[in-house]
Amino acid sequence: MPDTVAPTNRRTLRRELRRRRRQLDARQQQLAARRLCHGLRQLPELFRARRVALYLPNDGEIDPTPLLPWLARRGANAYLPVLRPLASNSLWFVHYHADTPMVTNRFGISEPDRRYAAHRAHRQPAWTLNAILLPLVGFDDEGQRIGMGGGFYDRTLAFTRRPGPRPSLIGVAHECQRVERLPAEPWDVPLDAIVSDRQVLRP
Ligand SMILES: Nc1nc2c(c(=O)[nH]1)N(C=O)[C@@H](CNc1ccc(C(=O)N[C@@H](CCC(=O)O)C(=O)O)cc1)CN2
Ligand SMILES: Nc1ncnc2c1ncn2[C@@H]1O[C@H](COP(=O)(O)OP(=O)(O)OP(=O)(O)O)[C@@H](O)[C@H]1O
């Protein structure tokens, strides 16, 4: 059973959940990453996907990158989130391959270089992606989620509420980030699945 989190504000909850995942040691992280990727490979959404966005782990996040060789074998392209310039607090998804020039962003996360990302040919509009793996700070059994608090993914993916083509949204996290119940916010974008090192959850 997950620890019960007393009713508290989102900031306190975030701090606690981020602390939990940072406490995992290298061996636990590696095992969790392997289990996560095993779960992800079973998802029909990913099996079919040609264009998949993932992320490079930071702050104890579960590592989705063991999926990269699997995607490459299937001829699928990988994309990474890049902070959009001009403080729009939203994301671009930029092609990630062996030669993508990388820099460290203002949060200390490695991401494709701005100049590379500035070329439209190197980006993929979110609606044309088949699947996006979202890093979660917390989740519950109902499929509610909480992220880093920037609203980057919520803003970027707000269009998925309207009819039209859209990527499958797959939240990923360590099982230790599961809590009893999370408050839903009106802007929270619904996820199609949440995958941890222990389970595949379909809200
Ligand atoms: N690996 C990874 N990449 C990602 C995200 C993510 O959650 N994980 N993002 C998902 O949105 C975007 C970056 N969003 C972030 C939002 C807040 C903080 C953060 O650490 N905030 C600090 C304080 C802010 C500051 O330093 O100015 C903190 O809360 O301690 C980091 C990333 C894009 N790339
Ligand atoms: N579609 C949107 N348009 C405008 N503001 C938004 C939108 N979505 C979220 N926000 C704002 O972003 C802020 C952060 O939202 P929230 O605390 O839900 O972040 P989060 O879900 O943890 O982050 P993320 O989406 O990056 O994982 C909130 O103040 C919210 O008002």
pLDDT above 60: residue 53: yes
Confidence of residue 7 (pLDDT cuts 50, 70, 90): very low
Which residue's CA is the nearest one to ligand 1's atom 24?
107
96 annotated as a binding-site residue: no
Q: How far, in Å, CA of 200 to CA of 172, rounded? A: 9
pLDDT above 60: residue 3: no
pLDDT above 60: residue 109: yes
Q: How far, in Å, CA of 3 to CA of 15, rounded? A: 15
The binding-site residues of ligand 1, defined as CB within 6 angstroms of any ligand atom, are 55-58, 61, 81, 91, 107, 109, 135, 147-150, 152-153
Question: Is 1 a member of any domain?
Answer: no
Q: pLDDT tens digits for 133-181?
A: 999 999 999 999 999 999 999 999 999 999 999 999 999 999 999 999 9
Q: pLDDT tens digits for 190-200?
A: 999 999 999 99
Question: Is 5 a member of any domain?
Answer: no
For the domain that residue 191 is a member of, what is the CATH number? 3.40.50.10420
Question: Is 22 a member of any domain?
Answer: yes
19 annotated as a binding-site residue: no
Question: Is 37 a member of any domain?
Answer: yes
pLDDT above 60: residue 2: no
Parallel, antiparallel or unpaired: strands 200-201 and 131-135? unpaired
Q: Is 142 in the pocket of ligand 2 (CB under 6 A)?
A: no
Question: Is 33 a member of any domain?
Answer: yes
| Mean pLDDT value across the chain | 94
Question: Is 2 a member of any domain?
Answer: no
pLDDT at site 8: 59
Overall domain count for the chain: 1
pLDDT above 70: residue 4: no
Q: Are 112 and 100 in contact (CB under 8 A)?
A: yes
> What domain range includes position 20?
10-201
Mean predicted confidence (pLDDT) in 91-100:
97
Between 12 and 88, the more confident residue is 12
Q: How far, in Å, CA of 186 to CA of 124, rounded? A: 27
Q: Which atom of ligand 2 is nearest to the CA of 148?
A: 22
Which residue's CA is the nearest one to ligand 2's atom 10?
151
